[in-house]
Amino acid sequence: MNRRRDARVGILFATPWIVGFGLLMAYPLISSFVTSFTNFSVLRAPKWIGTENYRELANDGVFHTSLQNTLLYALGAVPLGTVLAIGLAMLLNSKVRGMPVYRTLLFLPTLVPMVAQATLFLWVFNGDYGLLNAALRWCGLSPPNWLGDPMWAKWTLVMIAVWGSGQAMLIYLAGLQDVPTSLYEAADLDGAKSWAKTRHITLPMISPVILFNVIMGIIGSIQVFAVPQVMFPGGAPARSTYMFAMYLYDNAFLYQRMGYASAMGWIMFLVILALTLVALRLSERHVHYETQ
């Protein structure tokens, strides 16, 4: 009787989570999968068309362009953001007077809302009146047209992503503070230099944190939407900044093609899953856990 009562009490406490998961996660997931096989315009009942949406995606040039732009963006933003975040975390882990102030200042960009951030950088990277180009001209350099040149527009988005790497930096900082100081003391006794200690102690000890942040960075990069949508509406110039999520949004809410957008959503899921599995596979030899 006690076991049954405990089971009922457990189920009762778990019910809010179960209901929330079912309504907010399981149902939308299943519904989107079914919708991806239909022609659904919201205003009319969905019509089953089988795999037609997926076949159309295979021949959709705009889809291929948006996917390529997103992968190139991720290829630049994730590695550069990881390197910068680790470097800043190592600097902030040093014992310097006023360190809490420096940590706060470097974390502040993460707290800026995406739309406000994009509006701010529209003025920073403006080709005629931007602060960055004004500084470059003052230095005697010929600045590029950041927002009007297809190549530089991609790098603009990458730099904005790297600028907002404060959250990853904070996680790295927490990981660095868990590294035993005895390892550094032993390395000092052996005459190890700073780079040797970083390579053989610091990076291996925080490798699980690096793996976590890289996977989160991959997911965030594939889903990037707000900043390019505000700064480069329509993917201008020449659709060089037309990201996957932007095309999905346009199909769903501009063209009223919910079935097609659902199919794109599942393609996005498969891309993220594939990249995550690749990251996990590559990490098997490089990530070290305390139990190993």
Cα 39 to the center of its chain, rounded Å: 31
* Burial class of residue 279 (count of CB atoms within 10 Å of its CB; 0-12, 13-18, 19+): middle
pLDDT of residue 97: 86
- Interior/surface letters 63-95, b for 16+ CB within 10 angstroms, e for the rest: bebbbebbeebbebbbeebbeebbebbbebbee
pLDDT of residue 290: 66
- Using alpha carbons, select from 251, 221, 234, 100 the residue that is nearest to residue 158: 221
Instruction: Return the domain boundaries, the chain.
Output: 53-285
Per-residue model confidence as pLDDT tens digits over 201-236: 999 999 999 999 999 999 999 999 999 999 999 999
pTM of the model: 0.92
Q: For the structural domain made of 53-285, what CATH number should be given?
A: 1.10.3720.10
**Cα radius of gyration (the chain):** 24
pLDDT of residue 213: 96
Residue 274 CB neighbour total at 10 angstroms? 10
- Interior/surface letters 184-214, b for 16+ CB within 10 angstroms, e for the rest: eeebeeeebeeeebeeebbeebbbebbbbbb
Peptide bond into 204 cis (omega under 30): no
Query: Could you give the percent of the chain with pLDDT greater than 90?
Result: 79
Read out DSSP for 74-134?
Answer: HHHHHHHHHHHHHHHHHHHTS--TTHHHHHHHHHHHHHS-HHHHHHHHHHHS-TTT-HHHH
Between vectors from CA 100 to CA 96 and to CA 104, what angle results, nearest 5°?
Answer: 130
Report which of residues 7 and 253 the model is more confident about: 253
Average pLDDT of the segment spanning 135-142: 92
Distance between CA atoms of residues 274 and 98, nearest Å: 43
pLDDT of residue 190: 87
Average pLDDT of the segment spanning 78-91: 95
